[in-house]
Structure 1
């Protein structure tokens, strides 16, 4: 490593063989100029060329009919015409003597070790498969006891419906009318498929990779070929931007919304993402899939379980059991302090939140949780720490910690973008009983922005649409937004959206409201002064 550092220093100082100071300075100017041109060109491309598909494109495309008795399903990002009911079910229905279950019967089988799900009016006993489900057992358990059709079809391709489900079929559900809202929502999906909006284009992501390179190259150059403190800190900002922007593609791939082929997308999101970003895919998928299905559930959504530092609602003050973390959360003395000032501490917490993601990534891989790529992820994360450690060691000793802190702090903008999508919205206890559409509308909000700023938000600004259609390519979410707003107007549903600045202001007001409630709590309230920490501090017991 010392030899490499000496070689880099020689290049930087212009003392390499055959190169004088003037030549080195000229090379430096050319390198910086080239990176600046590529960066500006890539940024302009992201702003004005490779951004969201305009909503007008929806009506410009003629829909294709799937044919009589057929429906559109999605496979590999393509719309494929399939029978409304696969032929296998007619045969199996005879074998089962046309068995019909009531909803009361289905609701008796909602446990991890005894699980029935209802999809397209059919009942499936998926108990044998729960522990093998690639998305984890929690999304399956959390969507039982009600119609799971929309949650299932939005997360899975047609092949899963055709090849995987039939073996678990045990009968039909009693006749249940489809609500008009649900019927209209499913019609929107059919329209998006019929017009090809689930398809992705390779040029969109090729432009993204060039954009990433325009961020990563200055980050590397600023440390390896520059000696000033200011250049090093600028490098840290570019590294943070690289991580933030790359996370959006990782998010797309984690939902199989890039190539729509699971193994391909998980390779890019997992091995490449882990290796360059240091945050594990397995942890993210377990957490994120659960979050999608039970958004803002006090007991079930890990994305709002942030005690002792944050509490978005007073519902979190009471002792509760987290089904994700597999332990009780009980607000103690320290929780009361941090939550009591969370509106002040919020942004500092966001600046260090990336450190928590790194810890959670390793805890997941070292746990007994199902991880499809456990060892390859460990290798990828180890590679990250090797190259990043080598990279940071190229800095003067007194600049290493400031570099890491600044890069992680600026990358914290990603956490802010995530939080404003849900923290101000409705929360509830247990599993939600709403249909798929109303659940997402009540627990998510959009962030308005002009078309040329879509690159900055990475698709997260269309949070409602993403939650409703997680496999829909990011660049087509603006089209889905227009259709969803029309649907909400038709059915008199609330659709929440506000700009980035107003979203942050509203979030701080919500955090402050909860903080005031936390400071008013007294002995015995919410378990604050009944925790072991409080007992030991006051020598009780």
Structure 2
């Protein structure tokens, strides 16, 4: 007997009953709770696509073998019509989750949707931000049917479907060109030589008590290894989860002191909800940065599960964020240590330890203990506290261009929420930009200056991104989509301009508020 044909109302009714459903090539995939809990990409990366056609995202982030396994969870088919599937609003986007209470799964309203545009007049009607609830509400009924109906969107479903179809053809061309094949010898061969030279340089300089040079070489090693770990985290090297994860743990945790489990969990969400103020952790940097006035509302983060409070300290920091940008970014690695340890602590009781397997969690913990042992001894071995402090700061500040380069690709791009109708390629190209550089210095960017292509094909080995980018540019031209790119210097200018623009808006708001207070108190203007 064939699969039943479900209408859009059938899908909506089952979502309201608690089913986690998404559309994959015209089929309805039902995600059981056991799958949701152990998904390597995390729970949220699935919940953001409930009620939506996730075909492009699924095929971009998963191997053919994994997609074949998903077919075992098909429960129905749907009629996508000529213009494509008309999406529903995922409950997570309006603050609803299903969590365990007293041993049972119940709907949980963790945040309140905010549809107002008072701080972001440029925001479209489709934009939904979340703000903190005064209380946590559990209910058997959950969201209403009206709530999971998306608000008006500024996009044409037909046009977005055409973008999606063209992207599928582009993906076929990328595969046919062999761009998923990892160039181990020509690609990673020179990279490994570079890693070894940095490590040897740091060791020899340390032995001669050239501690500054040693710290620079160690920082350079960490800087370069991050790019390799990034590839491994996307399964872009061996394309085998366990192999890539083991190597990435050795490099990130044992040598670099950072949790790759944290990075993968964080980075996956960044990729699926790029530049969304409420959902993307990679742009949630209060109290230090706000790249949109939307953050003035003290938004609720669906990733961190807390309010991003815009308090007095935040107001002060955001007002001067364009001046402190490089100072703060130079120390950004210290924040990554904090996030790493926090992630491992929070996930210590997960069913399979941070969705990577119990062995992976323990391998990370042992690796970080090992890192603390060797690195703390290296720092202390400098002799005086002044030299030790210098070594600590220099080794951690040298990789800072990496943090600057990462934000160049997103901070100056749109943070508007165009609703679930927006196609995968449209969203990625609207929120991401490339950094143009000469091939001779591409290694300093780790190949990730080609962020547009990387966001469209995250599992693609980065040494193949340049060749793939030519195909993407042709695709963008054919579809009338912007392929944004700028030089490193001009890109820095764009980011600083964005930060200054938000700071200026805050200044204007404060001036208006001050004038209104004076008027209310009857104080005459000077």
What is aligned with 1:221? 204
Shift of 1:147: 1.4
What is aligned with 2:277? 298
CA contact (8 A) 2:205 2:214 kept: yes
CA contact (8 A) 1:297 1:431 kept: no
What is aligned with 1:278? 257
Is 1:257–2:236 an aligned residue pair? yes
Shift of 1:238: 1.4
Distance 1:167 1:317, change over 3 A: same
What is aligned with 1:413? 401
What is the 5 A alignment of 1:164-243?
165-177=70-82, 179-203=161-185, 204-223=187-206, 225-227=207-209, 231-243=210-222
What is aligned with 1:83? none
Is 1:347–2:347 an aligned residue pair? no
CA contact (8 A) 2:163 2:423 kept: no
Counterparts of 2:255 and 2:431, CA distance in 1: 32
What is aligned with 1:123? 28
Counterparts of 1:110 and 1:299, CA distance in 2: 22
Is 1:162–2:68 an aligned residue pair? yes
Distance 1:439 1:107, change over 3 A: farther
Distance 1:232 1:495, change over 3 A: same
RMSD between aligned residues: 2.0
Counterparts of 2:327 and 2:378, CA distance in 1: 26
1:10-64 Cα shifts (integer Å, max 9, x gaps)? xxxxxxxxxxxxxxxxxxxxxxxxxxxxxxxxxxxxxxxxxxxxxxxxxxxxxxx
What is the 5 A alignment of 1:326-405?
326-368=305-347, 370-371=353-354, 372=356, 373-397=360-384, 398-405=386-393
Distance 1:112 1:392, change over 3 A: farther
Which TM-score applies when normalising by structure 2? 0.78
Shift of 1:359: 0.7
What is aligned with 1:150? 56
- 2:450 match: secondary structure: helix
What is aligned with 2:6? 101
Distance 1:211 1:452, change over 3 A: same
Distance 1:259 1:364, change over 3 A: same
Shift of 1:402: 1.1
Distance 1:130 1:192, change over 3 A: same
1:163-214 Cα shifts (integer Å, max 9, x gaps)? 2x12321111213335332222211211121221110122122331121011
Is 1:135–2:135 an aligned residue pair? no
Return structure 1 stretches of 4+ with deviation > 6 angstroms. none
**Which structure shows the higher helix fraction?**
1
Counterparts of 1:194 and 1:472, CA distance in 2: 13
Distance 1:499 1:126, change over 3 A: same
What is aligned with 1:36? none
Shift of 1:95: 4.7
Shift of 1:105: 4.0
CA contact (8 A) 1:336 1:519 kept: no
1:511-530 Cα shifts (integer Å, max 9, x gaps)? 001111223334998xxx9x
Counterparts of 1:319 and 1:271, CA distance in 2: 38
What is the 5 A alignment of 1:471-482?
471-482=459-470
CA contact (8 A) 2:163 2:426 kept: no
Shift of 1:364: 0.5
Counterparts of 1:431 and 1:359, CA distance in 2: 33
Counterparts of 1:112 and 1:348, CA distance in 2: 50
CA contact (8 A) 2:254 2:371 kept: yes
Distance 1:381 1:345, change over 3 A: same
The runs of 5 or more residues in structure 1 that have no matched partner are: 1-93, 530-541
The runs of 5 or more residues in structure 2 that have no matched partner are: 85-160, 518-526
Shift of 1:482: 0.9
| Range moving further from structure 2, 124-133 or 462-471 | 124-133
Counterparts of 1:484 and 1:113, CA distance in 2: 38
Shift of 1:329: 1.5
- 1:503 match: secondary structure: helix
Counterparts of 1:107 and 1:199, CA distance in 2: 40
Distance 1:237 1:104, change over 3 A: farther
Counterparts of 1:291 and 1:519, CA distance in 2: 29
Counterparts of 1:467 and 1:246, CA distance in 2: 20
CA contact (8 A) 1:111 1:141 kept: no
1:337-385 Cα shifts (integer Å, max 9, x gaps)? 0000000111011011100100110111011365122111010111111
CA contact (8 A) 1:112 1:141 kept: no
- 1:447 match: secondary structure: strand
- 2:496 counterpart (505, 508, 512): 508
Counterparts of 1:295 and 1:220, CA distance in 2: 40
- 1:289 counterpart (256, 259, 268): 268
Counterparts of 1:113 and 1:393, CA distance in 2: 55
Shift of 1:102: 2.9
